[in-house]
Structure 1
């Protein structure tokens, strides 16, 4: 903001001397008025606001009470350039090879309207892998979620619309996670916003480039800021191991007509993520007959009927157990019996 000019009182020297001689008190009052009043913003009074200052003196002389005003000094508030960038993700985004979306907010912390250039950097020191930046997009419908075909894709050079003081904008950085990553790999992506008017050390002046032809002054952020979004690979795999044990009619382990074979299927889910709709299924082998109501899950009995629980079984359709969503590091065991014909 411009510095106030020295105020002066316009009156004759003789009048001031007369005032002193009568020993009448002189009271100086300073009134501050704002033209075109604007709300205070993150950086205070809005850029372009005109501030008036007029001094008043009152005194008593031989003619009674007197009042004189100084000239009015008018100054215009310059524009401060400041911005913050923050990650809106609550933590690392789970990722697998393919597309991933990181969410940020860019906020104009200055006191005037400003647009910002955006740059996404996927090659951050310490990354286990580097992504490829596909697009930077703006949250057009304001729902906080990237909607392909709806949210605006910025074209190079990626630049925001003009943001008013204190206005924030949700920005999506769409990246591609490469093949070959392994479970637990991590990667950071940086998003930087820079004021189009200019950046620099706090206090840097861009003469005449502020609101209404005033100056633009770089604020405490340097008129640029960077935030980091993180990706964490969660590759989950499922391994099935099947075994069989046999008891024959004579108490042995021979496979003969009448022997009962118990099949055991172990589903091992590995990784830091989870899988959905995991169903373990097995057909009834030819030459055998399913033994009714013998399906178990983790040692607990299941029914053969559909819809009663996670299990379903019959000679015609075989055995099916719906495990639903299963987190990595989980093991489930399914068993069922058949009789050799």
Structure 2
């Protein structure tokens, strides 16, 4: 006959595995300009362990293999999880105060903000890293922290040593502007003498050099004393501009001309002209 007996139960509590991965979310070098503030590099932190874990974040702006070290501004957590740094919306990170808690397989985007020295040259690169470390502890794979795991079990360091690090590069694209002014005089007698009644045509040429783009470029120039502005004489790239503050890019307010050039890329020029008569 068959006799069935039952053994004592054997219970194995699964230990918490401490593993984290950090990667750069930027597709390549992130362009910035000399003197820029809060230039962001983007990183993604993922808890590859099997339990919830707090992680300490450590940025480093002093790394080898680059041209300069930016000044660390702050580290910011992507509060709204849209992958884009939103000033005033995303949460500023303070180590030991709001270390992010990630559940298993959960990821978080983190921004490292940097200030760029004004003296940097076009093409200079800065290497910035971000490390995430399990607050429970780190060590060689297999290191055990007794009773420190979820539910009172042990916590065991995984293959990443419970710390992850990634780096990204900032690339300075330094655009600069030069403005050159010239004048041509035409007198009433067909000559070039600057006598009363003569017309002076001023030409201002803005040249953008370096790399990148300058935003919101504008040219203003006061009307010289003892001259009178010739109405509707402003041009931009040879096209006439009106004197009124309207839809086009120029205006004259009675004492000076102003022309808004907008965003101008390096390697381009913009030419503005206007006329006055000598009184």
TM class by smaller structure? 0.7 to 0.9
Residue 111 of structure 2: aligned partner: 172
Rg larger in 1 or in 2?
A: 1
Q: 265, 270, 279: which is aligned to 1:332?
A: 270
CA RMSD of aligned residues (A): 2.9
Gaps of at least 5 residues in structure 2 are: none
Matches within 5 A, 1:305-324: 305-313=244-252, 316-324=254-262
Query: 2:93·2:99 contact (CA, 8 Å) conserved in 1?
Result: no
Equivalent-residue separation in structure 1 for 2:220 and 2:73 (angstroms)? 40
Higher relative contact order (CA 8 A, sep 6+): 2
Give secondary structure in 2 for the equivalent of 1:171. Answer: strand
Correspondence 1:219 to 2:158? yes
1:185-239: per-residue Cα shift (whole Å, max 9, x none)? 2101111112223334444444443223333333332321111132222443322
Residue 34 of structure 1: aligned partner: none
1:113-132: per-residue Cα shift (whole Å, max 9, x none)? 11222221111112211123
Correspondence 1:243 to 2:182? yes
Matches within 5 A, 1:62-141: 68=4, 71=7, 72-91=9-28, 92-97=30-35, 99-100=37-38, 101-140=40-79
Matches within 5 A, 1:188-337: 188-313=127-252, 316-337=254-275
TM-score normalised by L of structure 2: 0.83
1:261-297: per-residue Cα shift (whole Å, max 9, x none)? 2111001123334333322122222333322322211
Gaps of at least 5 residues in structure 1 are: 1-13, 17-67
Give secondary structure in 2 for the equivalent of 1:212. Answer: helix
Query: 2:16·2:154 contact (CA, 8 Å) conserved in 1?
Result: yes
Query: 1:93·1:102 contact (CA, 8 Å) conserved in 2?
Result: no
How many aligned positions are there?
Answer: 275
Equivalent-residue separation in structure 1 for 2:13 and 2:33 (angstroms)? 51
Equivalent-residue separation in structure 2 for 1:301 and 1:84 (angstroms)? 59
Equivalent-residue separation in structure 2 for 1:152 and 1:259 (angstroms)? 63
Equivalent-residue separation in structure 1 for 2:94 and 2:86 (angstroms)? 13
Q: CA deviation at 1:90?
A: 4.9
TM-score normalised by L of structure 1: 0.70
